Structure 1
């Protein structure tokens, strides 16, 4: 709607849950309202909360925006859009992170408005909400003991395998998860914390982009996922985060960006975020931004086999 000649996003009222539970793809609006970025991490953050158009970096062509952003595996720990909000932090401690995205049609470069963008990631200790009993990324359990099994396997195949198969949530926590709509310029932003790490994966954030659905008083319904991807952090920023609390308490062996099996080593096209922060003190906050090129006519739900990166990761990789 327009107020005093300026565009304002409509405020969507909170609605009751159905039978005490949230329905999948019919979501309950919580935490609506504008994202206040003033004061988040000090000078490292811009005053507005949207991704800005950028000049191509060295080695990039002016047509860089026409490239599709790489698809990636969904991973086991996706929970379908049950928090419509920009601020996903809840009680999680960590370096403030403002994630600013611009979603465009990769063929026309036109912004995609009213898309539903999901993000989800682990906390500083490598734990995903909804799956706390999995420990550090699902890879923190005890090592197997005894003799290895012999002979042909029997019984039904296991479900929820790391890397692609979905696992149903095991608890009601939902920190570091959220969904929000793109504006008429294709912009969307989230207030979160710098992710931690777990065994076998570099530091990353998961994302989905949904189109052709409908925003209602109840949230977002229908449509399809036209992009399932992951965002990545350069090694310099991860090393800077690893020496400050609470990240320094994470003793899990870390996989580097070049060792990761999901990141395809293609820079921003592969989901590598552009980061701004005070190199003298990363704890003041990080502003991460990226233009995400999608094919709105495609269905990309991240359920297929993960893409193969150009290098091999640690054999201990156990989750996505």
Structure 2
């Protein structure tokens, strides 16, 4: 890397408040299915379990002085980010869905060293496509959690002021459940389910307990993430530093197809966008955020373990808003 590090040019100020009883232990699912992510993990699976096409770790790009990991792909922040609102590992808040244990590891892509004491944010929609804090804007599909009742009757009249120019790219516009593109939206409710922030340990690892995400119009199944470094953990949370990575995690089609037969996912009325059709996933496998998944193909409702190692550049700033 040459020149002045990006974080010296642009350092964001972040301060979060620790929720009561912050130290919530993550709970593994399926007993023997639970495992730890590691840099040299392989893609083999036990008989009777499923696996994504990723290896669970960033692919090695070289040895010695060369980069040890490919940098994990950067993506847009999306309109539904709430800055480190809940310091916790269990982010479920009683939400229904297939139990998901998300095991992450953060490493310096250049040195291969783990990034300890980083603040990792994760947030995603519920089983029916709604984001906490934004239910009135989300495009969830099915039941009472579907983001409102669709209008009835056919539209009348002739439209005026037709749009001109090239169509937009990326996700649907904000206010329509984009979740990964467009500008930031202010929260419209006080709910904060399926959101959390926690600290990486000395090995760069952090684990979250949540549920398998659902889907909404225009996007495949995914989880958002941010990695913050350079700040300090205090009695009131995490303060200062900058965001060195903003990305998304993705799920293999084989696993998502199995969830369609499990309630409450089975009640969704939204047409699901496949992984190969998504406008955000860059189709690069683990480098692009594809998770390695561990689950029983015949009993996915019992739980899934998802693993990935993120290769980041701690000196850079990637807040996902550009």
TM-score category (smaller protein): 0.7 to 0.9
Displacement, 1:91?
Answer: 1.8
Aligned to 1:101: 104
Structure-2 residue corresponding to 1:264: 282
> Secondary structure of the equivalent of 1:130?
coil
| Unmatched runs of 5 consecutive residues or more in structure 1 | 1-23, 154-158, 305-320
| SS across alignment from 1:132 | coil
Residue number in structure 1 paired with 2:81:
78
Aligned equivalent of 2:129: 126
Is the counterpart of residue 33 in structure 1 residue 29 in structure 2?
A: no
Runs of 4+ in 1 over 2 A off after TM superposition: 30-34, 40-46, 50-65, 135-149, 159-162
User: 2:136–2:147: 8 Å Cα contact kept in structure 1?
Assistant: no
Structure 2: 5+ residue runs without aligned partners? 1-12, 44-53, 165-172
- The SS at the match of 1:119 is strand
CA distance in 2, matches of 1:121, 1:250: 16
> What aligned pairs does 1:1-320 form with structure 2 within 5 A after superposition?
25-30=14-19, 31-33=21-23, 35-37=25-27, 40-46=29-35, 50-55=36-41, 61=60, 63=62, 65-136=68-139, 142=150, 145=155, 146-150=157-161, 160=174, 162=178, 163-304=181-322
CA positional deviation for 1:211: 0.6
Alpha-carbon deviation of 1:147? 3.0
- Using the alignment, how far apart are the partners of 2:26 and 2:198 within structure 1? 15
For residues 87 and 140 of structure 1, the distance between their equivalents in structure 2, rounded to whole angstroms, comes to: 24
In structure 2, the CA distance between the partners of 1:95 and 1:56, relative to structure 1 (3 Å rule), is closer
Q: Counterparts of 1:188 and 1:180 in 2: how far apart (Å)?
A: 7
TM-score (norm 2): 0.78
Displacement of 1:137 in angstroms is 5.1
For 1:266-304, what per-residue CA distance to the aligned partner results, in whole angstroms no more than 9, with x for missing partners? 000000000001111101110000000011111111112
106 and 62 in structure 1: CA distance in 2 versus 1, 3 angstrom threshold = closer
State the shift of 1:54 in Å.
2.8
Secondary structure in 2 aligned to 1:134?
Answer: coil
Inter-partner Cα distance in structure 2 for 1:228 and 1:183: 20
Which residue pairs with 1:21 in the alignment? none
Give, in whole Å, the separation in 2 of the partners of 1:151 and 1:275. 45
1:134, 1:178 → 2: CA distance? 20
Query: TM-score, normalization: structure 1?
Result: 0.78
Structure 2 contact 24–88 (Cα < 8 Å) conserved = no
What SS does the corresponding residue of 1:174 show, helix, strand or coil? coil
Equivalent residues of 1:114, 1:183 under 8 A apart: yes
Alpha-carbon shift at residue 133 of structure 1 (Å): 1.0
Cα distance in 1 for residues equivalent to 2:210 and 2:163: 46
RMSD: 2.6
CA distances 1:82-127 after superposition (whole Å, capped 9, x unpaired):
1000000002000000000010011111100110000000000000
